[in-house]
């Protein structure tokens, strides 16, 4: 038998004095990887889960890129930090001093960024407003980037001598819908041809050849990401950093598919979250209760023995991990504002129920089923299902309706549940000062100059990867006549 859990935590305290943090995140993954029982074969993430701790019911705060990341890195709700939509629309952090990197740097860690970040603009001027001590990702025209540089830059940093503990933020775009062609091309030699016939789309999508092809591309992107993460894990072992480095892996929200990204349901807000390293994050534990991105900031503060900033909304995972509490959350709150158009939605999610409310009069009553375009969306668009009506209130019993299809708002059997969840959401909105209550969220600041230039360069790059992917799949006898989107709305996926 091994040591008692309490002894493991005492032993880990010696490591925490110089603990490093490797924060790994990717776009639009949801929980669709093998550690959560899904199709993509991701053995390196499986190993991370087997050796660390997997959070089975982890959630983001907002199923849109910039608000989700802002919540995780500030420990606050997006509406509290000014991130009501994408940075591509001009939104930004209210105060960079609230960023986790600023807090860790102030307490002696070297904070380093490589790869995507998406809480400020992509220009040098905007990027350097973030409170990192060091930036090691390339800055330049998107069309010039021909391979995954995030992993290479991170590996080079890990192999450097380190005089102080570090927080290394490594961001990936490989699993974003607009990068699936790129991920296929870059992984073709190592992972081989892609058989698009024997695939299964997400369960709420139609099982058609177009949707199967898109599912195959989604899964391949996840598998390529896993290959790249494996290189980082190997370097941690080679350099002797593994025992003193906390590895955090997560994603911003669910995939850019119809009814997922931008939607306040479990498909949109459910995220992979796997943590391995000092402080008890070991042994292949699976934590079943509710957890949130908001919990990471206070957890790191407790692990490092530093005071948390005022105003953090999450809870440390450590008492739960140590077995001192059966759960840390009775409910979680989610929000959606701008992702292109404005639709102010707020939601409460308990272990059994989800209640969602449409706020204000300034937003649309119809939700665009599209997030990032694609084949499944086009099929639904052609069938007249481009938009879905958004009721003022929705209530789902997740025990019997995990797909969230049967709205129980008008069912008298759920009257008491509905009243309770309404009251709890009301209290949250008041406590957090949510401006959507008064329909007071302003119009987007507007597309900044850097976003327009980046979009033009991105179009060139997307076309390049599309052409290469078509040629390879045609040679493999598996080509699908997918065409590039024409409109600006379909290129909503070009949001780094």
Which tens digits make up the pLDDT trace of 346-365?
999 999 999 999 987 655 56
Task: Say if residue 271 is exposed, middle or buried (CB neighbours under 10 Å; 0-12, 13-18, 19+).
Answer: buried
- How far is CA 395 from each of CA 126, 291, 369, 420, rounded to the nearest angstrom? 41, 21, 19, 12
What is the Cα–Cα distance from 72 to 115, expressed in whole angstroms? 17
| Residue 338 sits in the same domain as residue 285 | no
Residue spans of beta strands (DSSP E) within 242-359: 245-251, 270-271, 273-276, 285-292, 332-339, 341-349, 353-358
Q: Is residue 460 in some structural domain?
A: no
Q: Which two tokens stand for residue 370?
A: 């599209």
Residue written as tokens 């509406």? 79
Which DSSP state fits 257? S
| Residue 315 sits in the same domain as residue 339 | no
| Residue 58 sits in the same domain as residue 186 | yes
Q: Is residue 46 in some structural domain?
A: yes
Q: Is residue 472 in some structural domain?
A: no
| Residue 348 sits in the same domain as residue 269 | no
Task: List the CATH number of the domain containing 299.
Answer: 3.40.720.10
Q: Is residue 70 in some structural domain?
A: yes
pLDDT tens digits for the chain (496 residues)? Answer: 333 444 444 444 434 668 999 999 999 999 999 999 999 999 999 999 999 999 999 999 999 999 999 999 999 999 999 999 998 888 899 999 999 999 999 999 999 999 999 998 877 888 899 999 999 975 444 434 456 889 999 999 999 999 999 999 999 999 999 899 999 999 999 999 988 888 899 998 888 888 899 999 999 999 999 999 999 999 999 999 999 999 999 999 999 998 899 999 999 999 999 999 999 999 999 999 999 999 999 999 999 999 999 999 999 999 999 999 999 999 999 999 888 778 889 999 999 999 999 987 655 566 666 678 888 888 888 888 877 778 899 999 999 999 999 999 999 999 999 999 999 999 999 999 999 888 788 788 877 776 666 677 777 888 888 889 888 888 888 766 555 444 333 333 333 3
Q: Is residue 230 in some structural domain?
A: yes
Non-local (6+) Cβ contacts of 382 within 8 A are none
Residues in the chain: 496
Q: Is residue 462 in some structural domain?
A: no
| Residue 313 sits in the same domain as residue 368 | no
Q: Which two tokens stand for residue 131?
A: 């409170």
| Residue 410 sits in the same domain as residue 430 | yes
| Residue 29 sits in the same domain as residue 134 | yes
**Do 379 and 458 contact (CB within 8 A), yes or no?**
no
- How far is CA 55 from each of CA 271, 275, 291, 329, 415, rounded to the nearest angstrom? 9, 8, 7, 13, 31
The total of structural domains in the chain comes to: 2
Q: Is residue 485 in some structural domain?
A: no
Question: Is beta strand 341-349 parallel, antiparallel or unpaired with respect to 332-339?
Answer: antiparallel
| Residue 275 sits in the same domain as residue 371 | no
Could you list the residue range(s) of the whole structural domain that residue 414 is in?
Answer: 333-438
Boundary-marking domain end, from 390, 415, 438: 438
| Residue 219 sits in the same domain as residue 310 | yes
| Residue 242 sits in the same domain as residue 287 | yes
Task: List the CATH number of the domain containing 405.
Answer: 3.30.1120.10
Boundary-marking domain end, from 330, 357, 378: 330
Non-local (6+) Cβ contacts of 240 within 8 A are none
Q: Which two tokens stand for residue 351?
A: 């272990």
Task: Say if residue 226 is exposed, middle or buried (CB neighbours under 10 Å; 0-12, 13-18, 19+).
Answer: buried
Torsion sign across C-alpha atoms 76, 80, 84, 89: negative
Boundary-marking domain end, from 391, 419, 438: 438
**Do 175 and 29 contact (CB within 8 A), yes or no?**
yes
| Residue 293 sits in the same domain as residue 344 | no
Run of H or E including 301: helix 296-304
Q: Is residue 145 in some structural domain?
A: yes
Tell me the per-residue pLDDT of 463-485, one tens digit each, with 9 for 90 and over: 888 889 888 888 888 766 555 44
């Amino acid at each position: 038998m091994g040591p008692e859990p309490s002894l493991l935590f005492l032993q880990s305290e010696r490591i925490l004095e110089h603990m490093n943090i490797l924060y790994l995140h990717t776009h639009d993954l949801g929980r669709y990887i093998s550690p959560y029982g899904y199709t993509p074969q991701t053995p390196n993430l499986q190993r991370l889960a087997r050796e660390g701790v997997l959070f089975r019911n982890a959630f983001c705060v907002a199923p849109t890129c910039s608000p989700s990341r802002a919540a995780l890195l500030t420990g606050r709700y997006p509406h509290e930090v000014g991130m009501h939509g994408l940075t591509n629309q001009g939104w930004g952090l209210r105060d960079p001093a609230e960023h986790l990197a600023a807090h860790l740097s102030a307490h002696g860690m070297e904070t380093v960024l490589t790869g995507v970040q998406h809480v400020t603009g992509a220009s040098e001027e905007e990027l350097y407003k973030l409170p990192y001590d060091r930036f090691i990702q390339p800055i330049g025209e998107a069309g010039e980037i021909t391979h995954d540089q995030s992993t290479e830059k991170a590996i080079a940093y890990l192999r450097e001598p380190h005089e102080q503990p570090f927080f290394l933020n490594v961001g990936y775009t490989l699993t974003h819908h607009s990068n699936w062609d790129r991920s296929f091309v870059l992984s073709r030699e190592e992972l081989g041809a892609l058989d698009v016939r024997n695939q299964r789309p997400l369960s709420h999508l139609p099982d058609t050849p177009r949707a199967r092809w898109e599912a195959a591309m989604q899964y391949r992107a996840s598998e390529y990401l896993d290959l790249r993460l494996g290189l980082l894990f190997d370097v941690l072992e080679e350099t002797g950093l593994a025992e003193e480095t906390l590895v955090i892996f997560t994603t911003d929200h669910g995939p850019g598919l119809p009814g997922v990204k931008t939607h306040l349901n479990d498909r949109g807000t459910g995220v992979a979250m796997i943590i391995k390293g000092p402080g008890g994050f070991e042994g292949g534990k699976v934590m079943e209760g509710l957890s949130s991105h908001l919990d990471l900031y206070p957890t790191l503060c407790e692990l490092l023995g530093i005071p948390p900033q005022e105003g953090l909304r999450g809870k440390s995972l450590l008492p739960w991990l140590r077995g001192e509490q059966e759960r840390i959350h009775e409910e979680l709150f989610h929000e959606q504002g701008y992702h292109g158009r404005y639709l102010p939605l707020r939601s409460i999610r308990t272990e059994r129920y989800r209640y969602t409310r449409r706020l204000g009069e300034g937003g649309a009553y119809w939700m665009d089923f599209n997030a990032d375009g694609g084949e499944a969306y086009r099929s639904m668009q052609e069938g007249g299902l481009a938009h879905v009506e958004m009721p003022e209130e929705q209530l789902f019993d997740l025990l019997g309706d995990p797909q969230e299809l049967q709205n129980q708002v008008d069912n008298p059997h759920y009257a008491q549940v509905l009243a309770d969840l309404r009251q709890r959401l009301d209290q949250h909105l008041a406590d957090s000062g949510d401006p959507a209550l008064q329909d007071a969220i302003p119009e987007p600041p507007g597309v900044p100059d850097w976003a327009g230039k980046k979009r033009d360069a991105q179009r060139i790059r997307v076309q390049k990867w599309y052409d290469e992917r078509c040629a390879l799949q045609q040679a493999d006898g598996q080509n699908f006549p997918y065409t590039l989107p024409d409109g600006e709305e379909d290129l909503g996926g070009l949001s780094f």
